[in-house]
């Protein structure tokens, strides 16, 4: 039987011809008969002279026979070609097979395109079953190129979880659309992709953020300082936290946590001062700001009295020291007559004081007085005083040089104690400038550092003090002394009004909103409790092993792209 008379044939005749063509091995002719049977099955009932059961049996046999042909041909897939198809699938959101079928059929729809699409998908499914690792690897590689790769590169710098969730949902939604095999499944598959993408991205990115959290450089500099969740994350969370601070109960918890943060900043400053002496020397927990200042002062005095002054000595008649003093006088001989005479007198007095007080606390006092006068004259607005201060600085440098030569290891202990004392003076001045009985704020410490900076340029470049980076980070993250929460009628009416609005939808909605609001209000103060600010947040800031950090960063970066793979796995199942 041929196509010329097949239009007049019954379905039974076509079925017999189809079976005969199959037995003869004429697959092309069998496919023609199968399509003709399907066409007749879709004709109006009055055009068919067969029973329903006969029609269903013929249709089923035709479809099964066609599927058998596709499965047989799928076994002959080319691994290289299917690897490329996996790569293209990742690159084009699972739309590569649709595009290829349209290209081969030369049409965007129709039976030929569908036949080509069925064969492409059958071959690729067989390849995925036999080579799952290669297929997934190629698809991931495709997803990391454009446009997915562009999103991945952008995600490395993105800090917004919401943005990543949106990207992951979009990518998975497109992949879900491409993965649907029937037009009527497009909408459902797309929606599933959107939901899957949002869920997978949220889970992976959140896990990556916990494993390798990203915080600002200022937050990192404040290691050891008690921070609130908003101060830790910055941006929108910090703005919401400031707004919540006005609400009674919740605001009290936030304010108390921020006050503890200022106290811990005072302890952190003190610990940095003490680290000049010994990195392991810390202020005991629970000390008030006043007791903290006193503790630091005592420890610095202990360093001088125990490890420095008992062993410190100086030979002022040393020829090199005398020559260095004389060279300083010659260098500054251009000073005005009255200043030059004063300088010569000061240099001679220095030598005599060192001869009379060659060791211990007396020697330390001579050095401290010279340092103080040099600094005081250098900061004078009078240019002549500034030149005189420079001359005193040269005397100081010559003294320190020969102190180091004559005292060896003891001089190193002296330097550590001097650094601690220099930082302590700034800390004590900041404490003295406070306006209440509490500790000093980062801004007050910064103002003290600015006043005592060697120059405006040194302060602008962050070289005014070893405490300057810590103070500036505190200003940026902690701010000033927190204000007490105040009862504001509008603050109370706003959430009540918002919850009441749900009653317009249904009583159940209003009840749900009230429950959620109540639980949130009850749970929020817990975020500002001591266990969270003193244990959980420091744990997030603690250094991680490099491998763990890299794994967390990778999870965070690829989270929007990974959602596509879950859509593909769901499709295969």
Encode pLDDT of 506-535 as tens digits.
555 555 555 555 555 666 788 888 888 888
Tell whether the model's pLDDT for residue 29 goes beyond 80: no
Which of 476, 486, 534, 483 lies closest to 238, judged by CA? Answer: 476
Residue 51 has pLDDT above 90, yes or no: no
3-state secondary structure 501-556: HHHHCCHHHHHHHHHHHHHHHHHHHHHHCHHHHHHHHHHHHCCCCHHHHHHHHHHH
Q: Picking from 116-120, 343-347, 432-436, 478-482, which range would have the lowest pLDDT averaged per residue?
A: 116-120
Using alpha carbons only, what angle is made at residue 41 by residues 36 and 47, rounded to the nearest 5 degrees?
A: 100
The residue ranking higher by pLDDT, 229 or 177, is 229
> For residue range 352-367, what is the model confidence (pLDDT) as tens digits?
888 887 777 888 888 8
**Segment among 113-127, 329-343, 407-421, 497-511 with least mean pLDDT:** 497-511
Looking at the DSSP bridge assignments, the partners of residue 463 are none
Distance CA 166, CA 189 (A): 17
Domain definitions of the chain by residue range = 3-141, 146-212+559-572, 217-247+485-544, 307-477
Stretch 389-397: mean pLDDT: 92
Question: How many degrees, rounded to 5, is the angle at CA 570 between CA 564 and CA 573?
Answer: 145
Residue 216 has pLDDT above 80, yes or no: yes
pLDDT value for 3 = 44
Q: Residue 107: is it exposed, middle or buried by C-beta count within 10 angstroms (0-12/13-18/19+)?
A: middle
CA-to-CA distance for 488 and 486, rounded, in angstroms? 6
Average pLDDT over residues 198-213: 74
State the angle between helix axes of 161-179 and 96-105 in degrees (0 to 180), rounded to the nearest 10.
Answer: 30
The pLDDT mean for the chain works out to: 77
Residue 205 has pLDDT above 90, yes or no: no
Whole-model pTM above 0.85?
no
The C-alpha angle with vertex 212 and arms to 207 and 217, in degrees rounded to 5, equals 135
pLDDT at residue 9 tops 90: no
pLDDT at residue 186, as a whole number:
65
Query: In the 8-state DSSP scheme, what is residue 307?
Result: I
For residue 478, pLDDT over 80 is answered with: yes
Q: What is the mean pLDDT of residues 15-19?
A: 74
pLDDT of 247-302, one tens digit each? 888 888 999 999 999 999 999 999 999 999 999 999 998 888 899 999 999 999 99
Q: What is the pLDDT of residue 91?
A: 61
**The pLDDT value given to residue 284:** 92
Say what the pLDDT of residue 41 is: 64
pLDDT given for residue 64 in this prediction: 67
Q: What is the mean pLDDT of residues 312-339?
A: 91
- Can you tell me the distance from the alpha carbon of 62 to that of 570, in angstroms, rounded to the nearest whole number? 29
- Backbone φ and ψ for 313, nearest 5 degrees, come out as -145, 165
Condensed to tens digits (0 to 9), the pLDDT of residues 98-155 reads 676 676 676 666 777 777 777 777 777 777 777 777 766 666 666 555 444 444 444 4
Helix residue spans in 27-147 (DSSP H): 27-41, 52-74, 79-91, 96-105, 111-130, 132-143
564 burial via Cβ count (<10 Å: 0-12, 13-18, 19+)? buried
For residues 130 and 141, give the distance between their C-alpha atoms in angstroms, rounded to a whole number.
19
């Amino acid at each position: 039987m041929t196509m010329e008379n097949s239009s007049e044939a019954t379905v039974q005749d076509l079925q017999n011809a189809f079976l005969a063509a199959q037995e003869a091995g004429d697959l092309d002719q069998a496919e023609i008969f199968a399509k003709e049977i399907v066409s007749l099955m879709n004709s109006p009932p009055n055009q068919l002279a067969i029973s329903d059961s006969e029609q269903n049996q013929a249709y089923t046999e035709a479809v099964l026979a066609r599927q058998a042909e596709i499965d047989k041909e799928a076994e002959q897939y080319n691994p290289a070609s299917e690897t490329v198809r996996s790569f293209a699938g990742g690159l084009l959101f699972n739309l590569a097979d649709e595009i290829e079928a349209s290209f081969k059929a030369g049409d965007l729809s129709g039976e030929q395109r569908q036949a080509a699409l069925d064969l492409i998908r059958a071959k690729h499914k067989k390849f995925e079953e036999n080579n799952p690792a290669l297929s997934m690897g190629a698809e991931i590689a495709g997803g990391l190129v454009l446009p997915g790769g562009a999103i991945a590169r952008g995600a490395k710098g993105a800090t917004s979880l919401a943005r990543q969730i949106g990207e992951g949902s979009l990518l998975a939604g497109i992949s879900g659309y491409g993965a649907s095999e029937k037009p009527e499944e497009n909408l459902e598959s797309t929606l599933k992709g959107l939901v899957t993408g949002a869920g997978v991205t949220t889970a992976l990115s959140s896990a990556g953020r916990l494993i390798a959290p990203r915080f600002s450089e200022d937050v990192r500099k404040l290691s050891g300082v008690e921070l609130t969740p908003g101060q830790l994350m910055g941006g929108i969370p910090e703005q919401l936290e400031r707004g919540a601070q006005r609400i009674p109960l919740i605001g009290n918890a936030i304010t108390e946590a921020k006050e503890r943060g200022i106290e811990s900043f005072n302890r952190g400053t003190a610990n940095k001062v003490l680290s000049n002496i010994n990195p392991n020397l810390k202020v005991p927990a629970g000390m008030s700001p006043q007791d903290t200042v006193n503790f630091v002062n005592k420890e610095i005095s202990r360093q001088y009295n125990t490890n420095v002054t008992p062993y410190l000595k100086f030979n002022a008649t040393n020829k090199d020291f005398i020559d260095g003093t004389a060279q300083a006088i010659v260098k500054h001989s251009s000073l005005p007559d009255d200043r030059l005479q004063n300088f010569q007198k000061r240099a001679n007095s220095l030598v005599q004081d060192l001869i009379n007080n060659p060791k211990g606390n007396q020697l330390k006092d001579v050095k401290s007085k010279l340092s103080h006068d040099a600094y005081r004259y250098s900061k004078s607005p009078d240019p002549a005083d500034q030149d005189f201060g420079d001359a005193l600085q040269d005397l100081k440098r010559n003294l320190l040089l020969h102190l180091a030569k004559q005292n060896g290891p003891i001089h190193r202990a002296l330097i550590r104690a001097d650094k601690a004392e220099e930082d302590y003076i700034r800390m004590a001045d900041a404490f003295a400038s406070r306006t209440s009985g509490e500790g000093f704020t980062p801004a007050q410490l910064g103002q003290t550092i600015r006043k005592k900076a060697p120059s405006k340029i040194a302060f602008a470049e962050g070289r005014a003090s070893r405490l300057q980076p810590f103070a500036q980070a505190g200003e940026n993250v902690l701010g000033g002394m927190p204000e007490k929460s105040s009862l504001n009628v509008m603050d109370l009416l706003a959430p009540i009004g918002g919850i009441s609005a749900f009653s317009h939808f249904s009583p159940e909605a209003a009840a749900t909103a009230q429950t959620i609001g109540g639980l949130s209000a009850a749970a929020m103060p817990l975020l500002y409790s001591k266990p969270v600010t003193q244990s959980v947040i420091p744990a997030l800031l603690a250094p991680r092993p490099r491998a763990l950090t890299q794994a967390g960063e990778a999870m965070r970066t690829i989270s929007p792209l990974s959602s596509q793979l879950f859509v593909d796995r769901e499709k295969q199942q």
